[in-house]
Structure 1
């Protein structure tokens, strides 16, 4: 019984340690125009590989957090790139 519990705990720890290491975007971080331009470039180059680019006004700030949290891993964005794309999108979003 102890071996089973120990094996389960070890397995759970292994799965957690192998999981994604991203930090969630919770709000704007970058406001410098250089970083916003980088975010635009990343958005245009990474997202257009798989689909038509969505209109930044498609979502409000919270909607973009949800959408990018789902899409950034598929686009293989680093945490910094993810943040820059989010900051670009909300900087041009009219919502």
Structure 2
């Protein structure tokens, strides 16, 4: 009886692990921008002045919004951006595409 119970459990686990899982995806209606138009304008200025101080400014369309998260997370501290400025610059970049 125990062998049947164990075999049934193993088969159930294998069947469950082979079924496709639901994948969460962002919809086109999701808006990652959290800043106002005035804040985005400040983000553009910070992007041009802070980022452009050290290197040529990249084209905002050269990366996806997700890629920009990593880039911004590594570059914002170097540019000495505040958390607000970091958000504003990110929102400017993803809205400028």
Q: TM-score range by the shorter chain?
A: 0.5 to 0.7
The runs of at least 4 aligned residues of structure 1 exceeding 6 Å deviation read none
Counterpart pick for 1:71 among 58, 71, 75: 75
Matched, 1:85 2:89: yes
Give 1:82 shift: 0.2
Matched, 1:28 2:33: yes
Could you say what the CA RMSD is over the residues aligned between the two structures, in angstroms? 0.8
The structure with the largest alpha-carbon Rg is 2
Give the gaps of 5 or more residues in structure 2: 1-31
Give 1:77 shift: 0.3
Give 1:28 shift: 2.6
**Partner Cα separation in structure 2 for residue 42 and residue 55 of structure 1:** 15
TM-score, with structure 2 as normaliser: 0.65
- Give the number of aligned pairs: 66
Listed as ranges, the matches of 1:1-80 within 5 Å are 27-30=32-35, 32-80=36-84
Give the gaps of 5 or more residues in structure 1: 1-26
